[in-house]
Structure 1
Amino acid sequence: MRLSSLRLRLVVVFAVVALVSAVAVSGIAYWINRDAVLTRAQNAALNDFRESLGENAGALPRAPACDAVRGAADTMADSTQRYEVVLTVEERDGSVCAATSAPEFALGDVPEALRAAVARKRPLEGANKAEYHMYWQRITLRGEPYLVGGAKVIGGGPTGYMFKSLAPERDDLNSLAWSLAIATALALIGAALLAQAAATTVLRPVQRLGDAARRLGEGKLDTRLRVSGSDELAELSRTFNDAAAALEKRVAELSAREESSRRFVADMSHELRTPMTAITAVTEVLEEEVDSLDPMIAPAVELVVSETRRLNDLVENLMEVTRFDAGTARLVLDDVDVADQVTACIDARAWLDAVELDADRGIVARLDPRRLDVILANLIGNALKHGGSPVRVSVRTHESASGGDELVVRVADNGPGIPEEVLPHVFDRFYKASASRPRSEGSGLGLSIAQENAHVHGGEITAENAPGGGAVFTLRLPRDAARLASDPNRDADGGSGVDGEIDENDENGGDTEAGSGRTARNGTTDDEEGAR
């Protein structure tokens, strides 16, 4: 299982450390106490057995009667150490007498290795001052622990064996083991509780910091943390507050600058429309009289006329961009036969011979027809200018990822395609692919405005290169934008407004838009200059 929670990791670490420490301490304590208990019981029993063997068995005559040996065994067993005795001696007739103080113990219960060690005679040399020595061994006999010790009386006396039960020591050690196990469990529980308390103490400020960072990311720049104490977490909270204050100040400055820039563009565009109306009227008169003008003057007049139209288109585009930035762009919805709409857009701009349309009649969508015309005019005009004819326009419908019906319009040209380094920027405002041609017929706003109009509908435009060559622009729109138009939450980010609300236009009631308005006259539309 993946330990993704910091609290869980702290508890697990504390518990593991506590468990390892408690087990180690308990194990060491158990083995020390076990060795001490067994050694104490063993030494006491063996010392007592040695003295008793010397006093009782050593007093027996050589080759004593078996009854006398049995009596000595009974006497030796009558000890405070509570052990049983087996004495063996060779009688006069050469037989071996094995006398025991308890019938449940016999000479056969003594391990053979221990008997051999007790009977072994050692030479007297150096540090060895006795021929025979005492030996002992801990065994399990009939399921019970025993200490078995043996020694031979020096001088030809009997051999004695002691059976000391270690059951009391075993019970004491079991009680000790249970006590240590309970102590280990309590230590583990205590460590878990301590870890929980420590995690709460440490993680509560971290959690507050995470919540504050989340609110800050949501745009609540006035978020601050309450600082208490002088530890590392308090210092972190102070740093967060300082960073949030600096960010709030910086965003306020940038917002003020952006608002000032938007207001400047809007005011400038609005103020330019009145003189542009007069200039346009003059240029139209000059255009009508160009044939009667002096041949030396006619080229200058044509240049003035074309540049005036270009300037007028730029002003209209800037006005529309300002509406998008200000969030005042609105949808005026109507039921649109998409095939008829595409045909009307192509026919109005005299593109019928250069465009191939693949669209079934009867595909009806509830959209803003004027904004859809702007999108189509920019996409098709851009394809004609940069890709060349024939341009293929296909209209399809299918179910979108969100579950509703979706309108898909693809515009494919027959050109070389879009350079890979340009693809990410084709919808940027005023983007020019070639820095050597900064001035051109287009303003560099066409595709950007088309994308904004798609966003207003809740759709998207994407650009890519076809495998066989040429660029493909794909427009995806919901078939019914009424749901978006009635959504009040979309107004804040430049979305649509209430169905039927009229889009703001100039004082003269003109219905000009980027990519339209002048296109019927010259057969082109504003595009993303330098996109190919």
Structure 2
Amino acid sequence: MINNILAVLVHSSNKKTLDILSSILSGDDIKVTTVATNKDIKEAFENENFDIFICQNDPLEKETEQLVSTFLSHYHSMLTCKIGDEENLGDFNCDFFIRTKDLSDEHNLQVLLRNVITFAKKQRIQSELAALLLHDLRSPAQSIIGYLELLEKEIFGELNDGQHQILQNAVTLSDRLIYLLEELSQIYRFEQKDFALNISRIQLREFIDIALRTLWVQADKKNIKFVPQIAKDLPVISADGLALERVLINLLTNAIKFSPEKGTVRIYVDKSENYLGEPSIRFRIADSGEGIPTERLNAIFDKYYRLKADRRQTKGMGLGLYISKLIVEAHGGQIGVYNNREGGSTFYFTLPLSPYVKREPT
């Protein structure tokens, strides 16, 4: 069943503005939360999922800009609307913009906000219908695999070599379809915040050793050598082990795939600081391939990157990297990539020692 209640967060340091916006937005199908301080913004984002964030910038304080930008990176499906002057737009992008002078024109303001609400409702419906479709597709796809496997095992009669090969190809393609559906479902859950990180204590050296052993056979087929360089004084961290393992294995798999025969994949893990100066753990995976075209570095983690770029050059760098980005950001970390001067590229991600963790949905 589709949830028709929209959650709207409104921020302004001006109480009159908060009252005006709250009065216009309030309704049976809209839940409005108003905040005036940085502390209020942080508490609101940590305790609830929002469909729309409306923010008056006049202009925003730098600390508020950074706080909002950080939380926006966790809310990929949330619409943002700024109210202010064009010269004070701030550093983070928005989906809608309302001029300050429109606050004094109640009728015009109602029309503008109604358009934002209408768009958000349509987006919500499309998103939830997509989730239902993904769920409904998984069961018949799994049934198809079951029938194909019965045929391949000759339950209904003998097959020749050509028929076996065709069925094997069909099963392989069906498995890929199931995997794709699962990735799309996971993306939806992350973007909608319909998930909770399963936090546990992780011994990093043991964790990394397991990931490398998992991919040893894959690397050995290309005679690729793993060269781990792990700092000795790494602390135990709190993170979702399975989710973090997916990130590390995905980056290592890409490094193997894009490194040449008899190449090298280097793994660096050490203590560092994030962009806020907070103590963090930094992971770097450096391959020995050809590197990534400079103009594509900024798009490499985009969900639609494989659709925009050349398929041959981006094989394996599509949804996996986007999911990795969602997982790292859910831990309060950052992920990125750069080309090495000596050739190849390095994917990195950081995890704060005291990560921001979204509370479980209620």
Answer yes or no: same fold by TM over 0.5: yes
Alignment of 1:479 onto 2:353 = yes
Deviation of 1:327 after TM superposition, in Å, equals 0.9
Any conservation in 2 of the 1:365–1:479 contact (CA below 8 Å)? yes
Q: Helix, strand or coil for the counterpart of 1:408?
A: strand
Deviation of 1:263 after TM superposition, in Å, equals 0.7
Residue 253 (structure 2) aligns with: 381
Alignment of 1:278 onto 2:143 = yes
Q: Helix, strand or coil for the counterpart of 1:418?
A: coil
Judging changes above 3 Å, is the alpha-carbon distance between structure 1 residues 459 and 440 closer, same or farther for their aligned structure 2 residues? closer
**Cα offsets for 1:217-252 (capped at 9, x unmatched):** 3589799xxxxxxxxxxxx55885455334322222
Deviation of 1:434 after TM superposition, in Å, equals 6.6
Q: 1:267 aligns with which of 132, 146, 152?
A: 132
Deviation of 1:394 after TM superposition, in Å, equals 0.9
Q: State the number of aligned residues.
A: 269
TM-score, normalised to structure 2's length? 0.63
Once residues 348 and 333 of structure 1 are traced to their aligned partners in structure 2, the CA distance between those partners, rounded to angstroms, is: 22
Amino acid across the alignment from 2:207: Q
Residue 319 (structure 1) aligns with: 185
Residue 107 (structure 1) aligns with: none
Amino acid across the alignment from 2:196: R
Alignment of 1:497 onto 2:359 = yes
**Cα offsets for 1:433-487 (capped at 9, x unmatched):** 7756489975821100000000110001011111121111111001343xx23xx
Deviation of 1:421 after TM superposition, in Å, equals 1.7
The gaps in structure 1 that reach 5 residues or longer are 1-206, 224-235, 486-495, 502-532
Any conservation in 2 of the 1:283–1:308 contact (CA below 8 Å)? no
Indicate the RMSD between aligned Cα atoms, in angstroms. Answer: 3.7
Q: 1:370 aligns with which of 222, 242, 245?
A: 242
Answer 1 or 2: which has greater strand percent.
2
Task: Give the alignment of 1:237-276 within 5 angstroms.
Answer: 241=106, 244-276=109-141
Alignment of 1:346 onto 2:238 = no
Q: 1:467 aligns with which of 337, 341, 359?
A: 341
TM-score, normalised to structure 1's length? 0.45
Deviation of 1:372 after TM superposition, in Å, equals 0.4
Judging changes above 3 Å, is the alpha-carbon distance between structure 1 residues 445 and 248 closer, same or farther for their aligned structure 2 residues? same
Judging changes above 3 Å, is the alpha-carbon distance between structure 1 residues 362 and 436 closer, same or farther for their aligned structure 2 residues? closer
Once residues 220 and 296 of structure 1 are traced to their aligned partners in structure 2, the CA distance between those partners, rounded to angstroms, is: 56
Once residues 335 and 222 of structure 1 are traced to their aligned partners in structure 2, the CA distance between those partners, rounded to angstroms, is: 40
Q: Helix, strand or coil for the counterpart of 1:269?
A: helix
Q: Helix, strand or coil for the counterpart of 1:432?
A: helix
Once residues 398 and 337 of structure 1 are traced to their aligned partners in structure 2, the CA distance between those partners, rounded to angstroms, is: 17
Task: Give the alignment of 1:128-527 within 5 angstroms.
Answer: 217-218=55-56, 241=106, 244-285=109-150, 293-349=159-215, 350-351=217-218, 353=220, 354=224, 355-360=226-231, 363=234, 364-388=236-260, 389-400=263-274, 402=276, 404-432=278-306, 437=311, 442=316, 444-481=318-355, 484-485=356-357, 496-497=358-359
Any conservation in 1 of the 2:229–2:268 contact (CA below 8 Å)? yes
| Deviating more after overlay: 273-282 vs 209-218 | 209-218
Judging changes above 3 Å, is the alpha-carbon distance between structure 1 residues 273 and 297 closer, same or farther for their aligned structure 2 residues? same
Deviation of 1:395 after TM superposition, in Å, equals 0.7
Once residues 362 and 351 of structure 1 are traced to their aligned partners in structure 2, the CA distance between those partners, rounded to angstroms, is: 30
Q: Helix, strand or coil for the counterpart of 2:305?
A: coil
Any conservation in 2 of the 1:459–1:475 contact (CA below 8 Å)? yes
**Cα offsets for 1:395-419 (capped at 9, x unmatched):** 1113445454311000111111111
Once residues 317 and 275 of structure 2 are traced to their aligned partners in structure 1, the CA distance between those partners, rounded to angstroms, is: 35
Amino acid across the alignment from 1:456: A
Any conservation in 2 of the 1:422–1:433 contact (CA below 8 Å)? no
Judging changes above 3 Å, is the alpha-carbon distance between structure 1 residues 220 and 270 closer, same or farther for their aligned structure 2 residues? closer
The gaps in structure 2 that reach 5 residues or longer are 1-14, 22-34, 37-53, 57-78, 84-100
Deviation of 1:334 after TM superposition, in Å, equals 1.1
Amino acid across the alignment from 1:469: G
Judging changes above 3 Å, is the alpha-carbon distance between structure 1 residues 278 and 422 closer, same or farther for their aligned structure 2 residues? same
Any conservation in 2 of the 1:460–1:477 contact (CA below 8 Å)? yes
Q: Helix, strand or coil for the counterpart of 1:397?
A: strand
**Cα offsets for 1:54-75 (capped at 9, x unmatched):** xxxxxxxxxxxxxxxxxxxxxx
**Cα offsets for 1:363-415 (capped at 9, x unmatched):** 32111100101111211112222344422111111344545431100011111
Residue 91 (structure 2) aligns with: none
Amino acid across the alignment from 1:256: K
Once residues 318 and 165 of structure 2 are traced to their aligned partners in structure 1, the CA distance between those partners, rounded to angstroms, is: 26
Once residues 412 and 212 of structure 1 are traced to their aligned partners in structure 2, the CA distance between those partners, rounded to angstroms, is: 53
* Higher Cα Rg, which structure: 1
Deviation of 1:427 after TM superposition, in Å, equals 0.8
Any conservation in 1 of the 2:198–2:240 contact (CA below 8 Å)? yes
Amino acid across the alignment from 2:199: L
Identity, % of aligned pairs? 25
**Cα offsets for 1:165-217 (capped at 9, x unmatched):** xxxxxxxxxxxxxxxxxxxxxxxxxxxxxxxxxxxxxxxxxx98999899953
Residue 201 (structure 1) aligns with: none
Any conservation in 2 of the 1:359–1:394 contact (CA below 8 Å)? yes
Deviation of 1:280 after TM superposition, in Å, equals 3.2
Amino acid across the alignment from 2:182: E
Amino acid across the alignment from 2:128: R
